[in-house]
Structure 1
Amino acid sequence: MIIIHATFHINPEKKGMFLEEIQPLIATSREENGNISYRLQKDIENENVFTMVEIWEDMQAVASHNSSEHFTSFVTKAKGFLTAPLDVKAFDGQPLKS
C-alpha cells in the first residue's frame, strides 16, 4: 500500500478557484483502479494549507494516476494557486495487525 501526502500552500485570493478546480480531480481519482482513498484535508492551523491524503494499492496504481489526463491537467493549473512549491511525501505502508 502506498500513502501519499501532497501539501498545497494556497494563495488566499485563489482559494475558491483552487477548491473548485480540485473537485473533479478528487472525483475522478477515486474511480481509478487501485485507489483506496483520495481525500483533501484542510489544515486547522492555517486556512490556506490543504493536504491531499492518497492511499493506493501499489506503485503501478500511483504511476497510472500520475500519468492520467485529469491529474496532469490539474498539476498544470495548480501552479497558479500555490504560494510555495507543492510538498509531496510518499510512504510504503501496511495495516497494523492487532
Structure 2
Amino acid sequence: MIIIHAVFNIIPEKQEAFLEEIQPLIAASRAESGNISYNLHKAIEKDNEFTMVEVWQDQLAVASHNSSEHFTSFVGKAKEFLSSPLQVSAFDGQPLKMG
C-alpha cells in the first residue's frame, strides 16, 4: 500500500478557486482502480494549508494516477494557487492488526 501526503500552501485570495478546481480531481481519483482513499484536509493551525492524503493499492496504481488526464490537468493549474512549492511525501505502508 502506498500512502502519499501532498501539502498545498495556498495564496489566501485564491483559496476558493483552489477548492473549486480540486473537486473534479478528488472525484475522478476516488473512482480510479487501485485507489483506497483520496481526501483533502485543511490544517487547523495554518489558514492556507491543505494536505491531500492519498492511499493507493500499489505503485502501479500511483503511476496510473500520475499519468491520468484529471491529475495532469490539475497539476498544470496548481501553480497559480500555490504560495510555495508543493511538498509531496510518499510512504510504503501496511495495515496493522489492532487489539
TM-score band w.r.t. shorter chain: over 0.9
State the shift of 1:95 in Å: 0.4
Alignment match, 1:25: 25
Hey, what does 2:91 align to over in structure 1?
91
The number of equivalent residue pairs is: 98
In 2, the alpha carbon distance for the partners of 1:8 and 1:45 equals 14
Per the TM alignment, residue 47 of structure 1 is displaced from its structure 2 partner at its CA by 1.4
Counterparts of 2:22 and 2:41, CA distance in 1: 12
Question: Which residue of 2 is the match for residue 65 of structure 1?
Answer: 65
> Which string of whole-angstrom CA distances, capped at 9 and with x for unpartnered residues, describes residues 33-90 of structure 1?
0000000000000110000000000000000000000000000100000000000000
Shift of 1:8: 0.1
Residue identity in the other structure for 2:40: L
Once residues 67 and 47 of structure 2 are traced to their aligned partners in structure 1, the CA distance between those partners, rounded to angstroms, is: 30
Gaps (5+ residues) in structure 2? none
TM-score (structure 1 length as normaliser): 0.99
How far did residue 97 of structure 1 move?
Answer: 1.9
The TM-score with structure 2 as length reference comes to 0.98
Counterpart CA distance in 1 for 2:83 and 2:74 is 16
Partner Cα distance (2:45, 2:31) in 1:
31
In the alignment, which residue of structure 2 is the partner of 1:43? 43
> Structure 1, unaligned stretches of length 5 or more?
none
Distance 1:8 1:2 in 2: 19
The structure 1 segments of at least 4 consecutive aligned residues displaced by more than 6 Å after TM superposition are none
